[in-house]
Structure 1
Amino acid sequence: MGVWGRGNFDGDTAADHLGEVMQRLLDEVEAAMAGDPVELEPDEYWGAAVPCNLELLTMIARQDHVGTVLPSPEVAAAWKETYLRVWDATIDDLGPKDGFKEGRRAVLVATFDEFAEEAAKHANPDS
């Protein structure tokens, strides 16, 4: 077992645990993206949980701990396209209040873009 510091994530076991936690979040997103698009609609569980998972993954990745697990930038881009296609096609059916649709979409785009940025950093750590 290797330990390289005093922090909670400064050891091999902690890094393995972090990787497992991140992988669970990624597996949930991957399953939601590959599943029935209805489950990604704004008023459905995965419509809310997917952006939450991505924000959690982004926050964790920004810590640069050993054990960080993220998909390729291409996968991150495909997830954004899939999610926003469903969101754009269904949000009006929910009768959002004035300004909500545009404001919420901006948050979603930022969430996916920040996630993709972290995925690209971790795919190319020297850039």
Structure 2
Amino acid sequence: MGTWGSGNFESDTALDHLSAVIDRLVTEVTDAMSGDPVALEPDEYWGVAVPCDLELLHTLAHAGYATGLPAPEVIEGWKKTFMAVWEATIDDLDPSPAYKTERRTVLHRTFDDLAAVSRHETTD
């Protein structure tokens, strides 16, 4: 089909590129979730990067650009794994009670928002 509009994502090449970006984000999260749980601790790279990847996926999906998201059940499993590590290790970093409460809320919302958009994608 080639190019069908002047927008940044209105061509086959742009959508191929976007698909590769989405695949990379999903693969990163999948690999992190199936790897060593220590890597998911709040002060480790994947403990920070996984929520970033999830929010990027949500933003793309909410804008109508992300398809092929994992099933909501997969995302809910990721949440269970991630939050178990977070809850078991966050106190080692001596966070303030306010930060801990606020961060927990943000993390739950991040997983839940992506699961919701994935659920919507699978029902369309």
Residue 58 of structure 1 deviates from its aligned partner by: 0.5
In the TM superposition, residue 3 of structure 1 has moved relative to its aligned partner by 2.5
Task: Return the TM-score normalized by structure 2.
Answer: 0.94
Specify every segment of 5 or more residues in structure 2 that has no aligned partner in the other structure, as ranges.
none
User: What's the counterpart of residue 74 of structure 2?
Assistant: 75
Paired position in structure 1 for 2:95: 96
Amino acid of the residue matched to residue 109 of structure 1?
H
Total equivalences in the alignment: 124
Which whole-Å CA distance do the structure 2 matches of 1:75 and 1:11 have between them?
30
C-alpha contact 1:18 1:68 (8 A) present in aligned 2: no
Between Structure 1 and Structure 2, the one with more helix by share is 2
AA of the residue aligned to 1:22: I
Indicate the SS of the match to 1:85: helix
Partner residue in 2 for 1:56: 56
What CA RMSD, in Å, does the superposition of the two structures yield over aligned residues? 1.2
**Structure 2 residue matching 1:42: 3-state secondary structure:** coil
- Identity of counterpart residues, as a percentage? 55
* TM norm structure 1: 0.92
Matches within 5 A, 1:9-88: 9-65=9-65, 68-88=67-87
